[in-house]
Each structure stands twice: as structure tokens, then as C-alpha cells.
Amino acid sequence: MQKGLFITFEGADGCGKTTQLNLLAQYLEQNGYDVIKTREPGAKGLGEKFREILLNYDGDVSDRCESFLFLADRAQHVDMIIKPAVEKGKIVLCDRHTDSTLAYQGYGRGLDLKQINMLNNIATDGLKPDMTFVFDVDIETSNKRVGKEKDRMESAGDDFFTKVRNGYLQIAKMEPNRIKVIDSTRSIDEVFEDVKMYIKNALK
């Protein structure tokens, strides 16, 4: 059986990645592909519990604790959902994955990037996305899209957003083959044209 594809969708809050993930899932399904949509934190099952703590807990959370919770969620997700699906030949579209921890906990919170890389590697058991989209937006666009109702992570402020955004751009420079940066201040349709172009190449 042919091995599937593992594609991750990344970017700072309000970048529009979930909309693009849904559009791509629809497009691929219409073209006969077997697609799974999933997300971090908070895939089906135990992931939902991690999500609840990570996004809604209103007490203090230490930066290292936060990192380990995202990583624990990831380990469960890779073992129970992502790996089995890729092995069955499915296309897995995942809303956030390892690069989120690098961008948010590494570049954003200031934790050691090498250590996060190592911990990510343990959490994924070495599995790497075949392709990653980074949807890049500026702070004004993000604020407009996120609106007033913010979760724990979205409430971290404009400086934090800028660190995360620049973090993503740095990460993308280090792995240009895997990571495609897409200017996402444009319309949904324009952004999706880019996504399709990259996917068509990957599926050739």
C-alpha cells in the first residue's frame, strides 16, 4: 500500500490556517483522496482534555509546564491518530504541530530552541511532516480576525504575537523544502490558489 502524506498548517493566531485546511480537505476529497482532518492541541479523545487545560485554565501555568502539555498531547496524537492514518495511505491534514511549539514556546516564551527540537523529536517519535504551510499575517490582520473573545494563548499580547510570527519566518528559512510561507493577508481564494499549487506539486 502506498504511504500517505502528512501535512501541517501553521501560523500565528488569526492567520486563517483552519479555513485553508478545510478548503484543502474538501478539494482533496472531491479529487478522490482519503483525507483526515485533525488538530493540536485537542485531537479526538484524550487530546480534548489537554486542550481544555491549555486554552481555558485561568490560573498561572509555567512556561515549561505549558510546553510539556503540548508535547504530551502531541505524543498521544502521533501514536493514536497520525501515524496509523499515514501508514494506511491517508492524507493527514493537521492544524498545528511541532513548529507551533518552536514558534510559541521557543521564540515566543523564550525557551531553548535546541531543547524544544529534541523534545519535539521525542514526542513525534521521529515522524516529520511531508509539507508544512506557514500562513503569514501582520498584527493588524490578526487582531481583526481573532476579534475580542481571546483564549489564554491569544491573550498574550502584541509583542508575543510578533515574536511568534518572526519565529515562524526563521523556522521556514531553515527548512525551505518542507515549509512553504504564504502571504495570508490576501483573500481566502488567493491564499488557496497558492496552497493548491504546492499540493499539486507534492502529489505529482
User: Which x/- pattern over 104-123 shows residues binding ligand TYD (rule: CB under 6 A)?
Assistant: xx------------------
11 and 17 Cβ atoms separated by less than 8 Å: yes
Residue with Cβ nearer ligand TYD (9 or 192): 9
DSSP per-residue letters across 20-33 = HHHHHHHHHHHTT-
Determine, following the binding rule CB under 6 A, whether residue 96 of this chain makes contact with ligand TYD.
yes
3-state secondary structure 62-99: CHHHHHHHHHHHHHHHHHHHHHHHHHCCCEEEEECCHH
- Alpha carbon 40 to its chain centroid, in Å, reads 7
CA distance 10 to 30: 24
41 and 54 Cβ atoms separated by less than 8 Å: yes
- φ/ψ of residue 32, rounded to 5: 90, 10
The alpha carbons of the chain give a radius of gyration, in whole angstroms, of 16
Query: Which of 5, 66, 20 lies closest to 41, judged by CA?
Result: 66
Determine, following the binding rule CB under 6 A, whether residue 154 of this chain makes contact with ligand TYD.
yes
Determine, following the binding rule CB under 6 A, whether residue 18 of this chain makes contact with ligand TYD.
yes
| Cα–Cα separations (whole angstroms), residue 191 to 4, 24, 68, 202 | 24, 11, 33, 17
Determine, following the binding rule CB under 6 A, whether residue 10 of this chain makes contact with ligand TYD.
no
Per CB under 6 A, the list member of 70, 133, 135, 161 interacting with ligand TYD is 70
Per CB under 6 A, the list member of 55, 61, 122, 203 interacting with ligand TYD is 55
Determine, following the binding rule CB under 6 A, whether residue 167 of this chain makes contact with ligand TYD.
no
Residue with Cβ nearer ligand TYD (55 or 202): 55
User: How near is the Cβ of 204 to ligand TYD at its closest, in Å?
Assistant: 29
Determine, following the binding rule CB under 6 A, whether residue 136 of this chain makes contact with ligand TYD.
no
Residue with Cβ nearer ligand TYD (39 or 90): 39
Residue with Cβ nearer ligand TYD (38 or 101): 101
**Which among 84-92, 99-107, 133-141, 191-199 is the span making contact with ligand TYD, rule CB under 6 A?**
99-107
In the complex, the residues that contact ligand TYD under the rule CB under 6 A are: 13, 18, 40-41, 55, 70, 95-96, 100-101, 104-105, 151, 153-154
